[in-house]
Structure 1
Amino acid sequence: MLTALPTGTNPLDHEVNRRVLALSESSGVNLYIVGGYLRDALLGRFNAVVKPKDIDYAVADGSAFAFAKRVADELNGHFVPLDESSDTARVVLSDEAVSMDFAGCVGGSIEKDVLRRDFTINALVWNSREPNTVTDLVGGVEDLKSLTIRAISEKTFVEDPLRVLRAYRFAASLGAKIEPETFGWVNKHSSGLKSVAVERINLELFTALSHPATEIVMSMGAAGILEIIFPELIETRRVTTNSFHHLGLFEHSLETIPQLENRLDLVPDWVVESASKELSHGVTRLAATKVACILHDIGKPATWAINEDGRHTFYAHDVLGAEMCEVVADRMKWSRPVERFITKLVKWHLRPGALFHQGPPTEKALRRFYRSVGEDVPELMLLAFADFGATCGPGLLEENRRSLEKNWNELLSNFSVYLNEDRQRVRFLDGNRVMKLLSIPAGPVIGEILSALDEAQEFKEVLNVADAEAFVKNLYQEKYFK
């Protein structure tokens, strides 16, 4: 079946495609554009300003590997030999911000190649003989219209179990549904994820969580997929409801996701903007916050106790949970920024509530909280709101709920004021000056001293450079000098 491309999305309108096509003709290979480029074109995601950044080419009647090398040479691109034995290579054009993947047609023809792809929405084909249309051999266009994720066959998941997560990722990014037969295959082959490299799992998981993810998280939880990725969650299933929690611990952890996503409609725009920023390559702060939500109580099973009066306690579960997150980060090979961020949110997730435990905090306590958490305050508050929203046991009075919600909204609003003040404040001393003043090397002590100096300067306990130097010397003598 042929389907017309939207106006302005003809691949020949893209100069890179025109140049690559010209090279294919002179090289004697048949070239097809396949995959996500066509899916996104039919969804209307490209225009005169927004151009595709990733293009997949299928090559017939010749070597894709050799052709990709020629493309790199002719277009001054960077050649990345992915796997010569499977005839796959990549060309990156830095100037154009375009990455192109070249693969030989599986089975020798485009018709056979299409049947080896993962989902129908990714099995569309374009060739220059019909430049204004795409060829659809498997019903991908209709599935795209109805926002349906449908696997080409069960072999999709046998050949690459990562496609279990890809199904969820496409469901999240497109707002689509996984059709029943495909969903059955997803559940059947989910255990195959245990053999998949964690780097590949991270890419799919964090990408999925950067989109509205309530439905997929609930589905992945019900199917046991989250416990395959994070075995630390297994023990949370045994922690039952109590007077403050109307859900078991596992269900409570998942419920934080819809609570967080609903909260995004209620917080100031600058909070949403903060969460949308990239924390590390391919990982947004929002996606990492959702992982922190899922993991925030993993320290509870090991700290769970029931008092004689029937009260459930989980003393220091935040500290243990943060330590467990460090183990998760090591196993999952998260980048240092992602590890620090998620661990920090888990470690501090009780602090917003503790601030108001005995009434409104002092100005000094509030500012110390802001300074300690730093730029991560918006995301920590999103986690705190989500955790609180997922806690609806009979022991939690509605009056207390409303009061805490009001206090937290003010805490979040005041942070933006604090942040502006902090950015405008000029430090009297920097780290190099402190090291020289005290004749000590770089290390954690310098950071601690600077933090204390910031607080003293903020509360006008030091008013100039001389005051700052005296403060630093006295602090070092009293606290660090032995």
Structure 2
Amino acid sequence: MFISYPNEVKYIIGKLKDNGFEGFLVGGSVRNSLLSLAPKDFDITTNALPEDVIRIFDKTIPTGLKHGTVTVMENSIPFEITTYRIDGEYKDNRRPEDVTFVSSLKEDLARRDFTINAFAYNETDGLMDYFNGINDLNSKLIRAVGDANKRFQEDALRMLRAIRFSCQLGFTIEKSTLDAIKKNSELILNISSERIREEFLKIITSPYPTSGLRLLNSTGILNHILPELQATVDFDQKTPYHNKDVFEHTLSVVEMVPNKVHLRLAALFHDIAKPPCFFIGEDGHGHFYNHQNIGAEMCVSILKRLTFDNDTINKASILVKEHMNILFNPSDAALKRLINRVSIDLVFDLFKLQRADILSSAPPFKVLSDLDYMEKRTKEILESSEPLSKNSLKVNGKVIMDSLNLKPSKEVGVILDYLMDMVLEDPNLNNEHTLISLATEYYKKRNDNDL
């Protein structure tokens, strides 16, 4: 078996060997190579101590000496080299208090999370597979190395990693490993929001996001990290417009939207407020009035808790807030206002979310034709370069102040908003002379009404 890796890695492993030490490519890069996937990082493990590595190589960075890691720079590329080690006691379900350096590669690989990540390789010794990782790779199984309970109690983030690998690779989690996740799910509360976010993000942007979300639910982790989403599980909508509970409907929408972070998140949270907004109307059906606005607020709160960046939070919450706005025979002005509220960058993502929402509901999908018209006409409006925002008006605040002899005030903004509304209705009004006349007339009426 031959695995290709960069010349820099060959050089590092060769130089370790020339100095009397072992060197192996280890972990995910070996796994990905065996799966014919592009490796992302090339990590190296060795029996050389950190001080030996620093002595052998010219350019090094002591990135984690306590845990035996030194970064070696070759051709301006960083490569992490870690000394064989066994971990000491884990007191926070995340990191060992200390490590002990060892001379045995097998001992080092025994501390790793899953058998498919416990490979080591170099061109001289070939593939080192002490824990039957090849069998699990061929069987498409995620299996903990050794005692699964111990692995997850050492590092609770490994439970999320198991689910992430499962939905990234399309693998099944082996039964005893899955049972251990269920047993230890509460330990995820000991993991920082930042690390949870990193794994959760990889789950929802994986090729099989709904598989990951179902695993989060069935293992109990979902209830700990997203109790708001857990509340949608088995929630009967009691409406003829839906043939799925809120959770299953949500999963269907997530699966249908394109793989963009803000769009997957918007799909995940578009109906998050349905349980708290639910009531039975006089017609005997379930209703969820204002769930889109409350859902947008919940989306912001959840994503802040998970430490997402502000841009992603803003985009996802806008889409959640606007997802119910499917307009019947809308005027151009109404579509332009929608474009303004959502933004040109997001409006077609909104249409994708709305389409997935419709197709994940109960047939017949009557409003699809309305959405088709909205999307078609929006494209035409944008292609025509019609004015959409106050920046595109042929007058600005200074012109208005000079023409009406006004000082800077809120009144100027009110007048510009009025002019923008008029131009949205009729783009032909967007010339300086007409706008000044409209502004003068509007300002006079406002003052007359105040008398």
TM-score > 0.5 by shorter chain: yes
Tell me the distance in 2 between the aligned counterparts of 1:324 and 1:387: 19
Partner of 1:165: 160
Which ranges of 4 or more aligned residues in structure 1 deviate by more than 6 Å?
Answer: 424-428, 438-443, 445-448, 468-480
Q: Is the 8 A contact 1:58 1:103 kept in 2?
A: yes
Aligned pair 1:327/2:301, yes or no? yes
Partner of 2:330: 361
TM-score for both structures, normalised by structure 2? 0.79
Aligned pair 1:222/2:218, yes or no? yes
Partner of 2:89: none
Aligned pair 1:141/2:130, yes or no? no
Q: RMSD over aligned Cα, in angstroms?
A: 3.8
Tell me the distance in 2 between the aligned counterparts of 1:88 and 1:441: 61
State the shift of 1:116 in Å: 0.9
Tell me the distance in 1 between the aligned counterparts of 2:306 and 2:46: 35
Partner of 1:102: 81
Deviations for 1:201-248, whole angstroms, at most 9, x for unmatched residues?
A: 111111121123222222222333222211223444585331236567
Partner of 2:291: 317
Partner of 1:231: 227
Q: How does 1:348-427 map to 2 (within 5 A)?
A: 348-352=322-326, 355-356=327-328, 360-374=329-343, 375-392=345-362, 398=363, 401-422=364-385
Partner of 1:279: none
C-alpha spacing 1:62/1:80, structure 2 compared with 1 (3 Å): closer
Question: Given residue 196 of structure 1, which amino acid in structure 2 is its aligned partner?
Answer: I
Tell me the distance in 1 between the aligned counterparts of 2:302 and 2:390: 40
Which of the residues 30, 34, 37 maps onto 2:22? 30
Tell me the distance in 2 between the aligned counterparts of 1:460 and 1:33: 64
Tell me the distance in 1 between the aligned counterparts of 2:119 and 2:414: 55
C-alpha spacing 1:428/1:167, structure 2 compared with 1 (3 Å): closer
* Secondary structure of 2:124's aligned partner: coil
Q: How does 1:20-419 map to 2 (within 5 A)?
A: 20-25=12-17, 28-46=20-38, 52-63=39-50, 67=53, 74=59, 79=61, 81=63, 83-90=64-71, 99-107=78-86, 108=102, 109-130=104-125, 133-153=126-146, 154=148, 155-211=150-206, 212-237=208-233, 239-244=235-240, 251-261=245-255, 263=256, 275-276=258-259, 285=260, 287-352=261-326, 355-356=327-328, 360-374=329-343, 375-392=345-362, 398=363, 401-419=364-382
C-alpha spacing 1:19/1:223, structure 2 compared with 1 (3 Å): same
Tell me the distance in 1 between the aligned counterparts of 2:232 and 2:262: 20
Tell me the distance in 1 between the aligned counterparts of 2:298 and 2:421: 31
State the shift of 1:382 in Å: 3.1
Question: Given residue 62 of structure 1, which amino acid in structure 2 is its aligned partner?
Answer: L
Q: Is 102-111 or 192-201 further displaced after alignment?
A: 102-111
Deviations for 1:320-356, whole angstroms, at most 9, x for unmatched residues?
A: 111122221221111001111221122112112xx13
Gaps of 5+ in 2: 87-101, 402-406
Greater relative CO, 1 or 2 (CA 8 Å, sep 6+): 1
Q: Is the 8 A contact 2:390 2:417 kept in 1?
A: no
Tell me the distance in 1 between the aligned counterparts of 2:194 and 2:24: 29
Identity of aligned residues (%): 26
Deviations for 1:61-101, whole angstroms, at most 9, x for unmatched residues?
A: 3117x736975x538xxx472x33222344677x76x5533
TM-score for both structures, normalised by structure 1? 0.75
Tell me the distance in 2 between the aligned counterparts of 1:319 and 1:361: 21
C-alpha spacing 1:450/1:129, structure 2 compared with 1 (3 Å): farther
Tell me the distance in 2 between the aligned counterparts of 1:459 and 1:68: 71
Tell me the distance in 2 between the aligned counterparts of 1:68 and 1:232: 49
State the shift of 1:29 in Å: 3.9
Q: Is 107-116 or 383-392 further displaced after alignment?
A: 383-392
Tell me the distance in 2 between the aligned counterparts of 1:303 and 1:387: 18
Q: Is the 8 A contact 1:244 1:391 kept in 2?
A: no
The structure whose Rg is larger is 2
C-alpha spacing 1:116/1:473, structure 2 compared with 1 (3 Å): farther
* Secondary structure of 1:351's aligned partner: coil
Tell me the distance in 2 between the aligned counterparts of 1:458 and 1:70: 73
C-alpha spacing 1:87/1:385, structure 2 compared with 1 (3 Å): same
